[in-house]
Structure 1
Amino acid sequence: MSLATAAVGGTRSSQLSPAKATGSVASFFRGIVPDWHSDWAWDHYEPTILALAHQFGLHRVCEIGGGRDPMFSRGEAARHGLELTVNDIDAGELALTPAGLKTARFDIAGDLSEPDIARGGYDLMVSRMVFEHVGDVERAWTNIHALLAPGGVALAFIPTLWAPVFALNHILPEKASRAIVHALFPARRDGGGAPKFPALYDWCRGSRSRLEPMLNRAGFRDVHIQRFWGHDYFKRMPGLKQADHAFNALAARIGWDFVTTYAYVVVRKDKA
């Protein structure tokens, strides 16, 4: 049983256990056959990471922007054979990292001069809902290339423009978009929950033709963009919910990159 199979359980687990994949990240995703809807992306984020680690023999993992809510506890990481380092730019967020996990404070889009930098020190770098807050995403990917060991993999789970819900968030003043998020998801954003940071959406797109040249400049040749459509922002709005689902289902069926809602941006560094 693979790490991914053990992680997801149930009938859907076999989707994350490709029988045989070549060395490319694109062939890996062809093997696991993701669904078009973003529910799959959220439900299978951790299992996909475990499957990548298993498929490509990756052990030293850095979670970018993990802060207070890393994907695995120390015990879970150990059970999966992973050496997990939790990264964040904010010392306050890192102070909330669960006990026992290694932390590293640095700006992924910075100059890599911070003491916690480990060039070539990670086999796998991952992030979830982080890159939309980064001001210079191309520099971040260039830095990820420097931080990955040869043959290392990076996966960024991002919201994308121009999905209407994120286009609105991008266009509205931050005060207005914050109020809308609080109204739609009070449990997520109020009190001690995850804070809402300003979203910039630099290079947050679901189109391979748009992203690949930038990722090539960052040093990557093995590139895959796994596109997803749909969201749960309208789940309390009957009528609008159904209309939006129909729109996204059609966009997925015809492969309309312009209105993807989320994407996994996945790259692999050349082997030495």
Structure 2
Amino acid sequence: MSMASLAITAAEPGRREMTEAAGSLANFFTEIKPDWHSQWAWDHYEATILGLAHQFGLRRVCEIGGGRDPLFTQDEAARNGIDLIVNDIDAGELALTARGLKTARFDIAGDLSEPDVTRGGYDMMVSRMVFEHVDGVERAWANIHELLAPGGVALAFFPTLWAPVFALNHVLPEKVSHAIVHTLFPARRDGGGDPKFPALYDWCRGNPALLEPMLKRAGFAETHVQRFWGHGYFDRMPGLKQVDHVFNALAARVGWSFVTTYAYVVVRKGRG
């Protein structure tokens, strides 16, 4: 399966129903051959979600923390056979969701008592740069298991400890880390277009041996951790950029999970 084939349209014939015959998560990632560098994860996030949706027959997709910046417009979702529901804990963020998209306000790590909660109502739940801000990630995964339909899939894309750049963000006071990010990426933070929320990094790791027992406790029948190394934080720092790249390339070559920079954590709910 090439990355080009992941951009599935709703009109494509032979779209799978949500069955066990669709194969495993590990096989899916083996076929698409992700690169080790995190730039691949950023560039292919949407295509990976569409590929999973096609492979496993997933239509009702909830984007956790989508708020002001959802994955797809209404037209894009419809064109790809996706019924997209945008979730956020903040009513103000949901008010900024693009017109035409459905929204659902609830806390993924809460008690799921909010009126917008639909247990077993989603075929797929996805999030990008959300889980590092969640207080109570293990409960969030258990809630996702409850919200997914049988056979449903969830994908969380987040930064990981203990990559040096994120370890520094984790230990520095919030005001200091905010100032550093603002300096490195002013266009992404100015004007309220991409606000920086406190990063907690609860369970934000790239080590499958560490994550998989917790995900099994949450109830998932199948798990896959796709690890990535490297980042763009030193792109404006010649010398340091090259040294950091060599370090991350070596870590990727030997599979050093302790210093991954990002991960796709993908889980599947059993059908029983």
Fold match by TM threshold 0.5: yes
Residues 240 and 167 of structure 1: is their aligned pair in 2 closer, same or farther, counting only changes over 3 Å?
A: same
Secondary structure in structure 2 of the residue aligned to 1:190? helix
Distance 1:139 1:23 in 2: 27
Cross-structure match for 2:146: 146
Distance 1:2 1:194 in 2: 32
Cross-structure match for 1:24: 24
Q: Note if 1:56 corresponds to 2:64.
A: no
**8 A Cα contact 2:229 2:252, kept in partner:** yes
Cross-structure match for 2:198: 198
**8 A Cα contact 1:4 1:48, kept in partner:** no
Kindly report which structure 2 residues correspond to 1:60-209, keeping only aligned pairs within 5 A, or say none: 60-209=60-209
Distance 1:49 1:6 in 2: 8
**8 A Cα contact 2:126 2:156, kept in partner:** yes
Give the total of aligned pairs: 260
Q: State the 1:22 CA deviation.
A: 5.3
Q: State the 1:2 CA deviation.
A: 9.5
Give the counterpart letter for 1:152 in structure 2: G
TM-score, with normalisation over the residues of structure 2? 0.93
Distance 2:100 2:258 in 1: 42
**8 A Cα contact 2:3 2:32, kept in partner:** no
Give the counterpart letter for 1:135 in structure 2: D
Q: State the 1:4 CA deviation.
A: 5.8
Cross-structure match for 1:36: 36
Cross-structure match for 1:15: none
Secondary structure in structure 2 of the residue aligned to 1:81? coil
Q: State the 1:190 CA deviation.
A: 1.0
Residues 58 and 131 of structure 1: is their aligned pair in 2 closer, same or farther, counting only changes over 3 Å?
A: same
Distance 2:192 2:5 in 1: 33
TM-score, with normalisation over the residues of structure 1? 0.93
Distance 1:256 1:3 in 2: 26
Q: State the 1:248 CA deviation.
A: 0.1
Q: State the 1:3 CA deviation.
A: 9.8
Q: State the 1:7 CA deviation.
A: 2.9
**8 A Cα contact 1:63 1:126, kept in partner:** yes
Distance 1:207 1:112 in 2: 29
Q: State the 1:132 CA deviation.
A: 0.2
Q: Note if 1:239 corresponds to 2:251.
A: no
Distance 1:171 1:31 in 2: 38
Distance 1:6 1:212 in 2: 26
**8 A Cα contact 1:4 1:50, kept in partner:** no
Indicate the percent of aligned positions where both proteins have the same amino acid: 79
Secondary structure in structure 1 of the residue aligned to 2:107? coil
**8 A Cα contact 1:22 1:28, kept in partner:** no
Give the counterpart letter for 2:219 in structure 1: G
Residues 2 and 56 of structure 1: is their aligned pair in 2 closer, same or farther, counting only changes over 3 Å?
A: farther
Q: Which runs of 4+ in 1 moved over 3 A?
A: 1-4
Distance 1:143 1:230 in 2: 31
Residues 252 and 150 of structure 1: is their aligned pair in 2 closer, same or farther, counting only changes over 3 Å?
A: same
**8 A Cα contact 1:3 1:80, kept in partner:** no
Distance 1:196 1:7 in 2: 30
Q: State the 1:102 CA deviation.
A: 0.2
**8 A Cα contact 1:2 1:54, kept in partner:** no
Q: Note if 1:221 corresponds to 2:225.
A: no
Distance 1:80 1:196 in 2: 31
Segments of 5+ residues of structure 1 without an aligned counterpart are: 9-20
Q: State the 1:27 CA deviation.
A: 1.2
Give the counterpart letter for 1:216 in structure 2: K
**8 A Cα contact 2:2 2:32, kept in partner:** no
Cα deviations by residue, 1:31-79 (Å, 9 ceiling, x for unpaired)? 1110000000000000000000000000000000000000100000000
Give the counterpart letter for 2:82 in structure 1: L
Distance 2:140 2:26 in 1: 22
**8 A Cα contact 2:2 2:31, kept in partner:** no
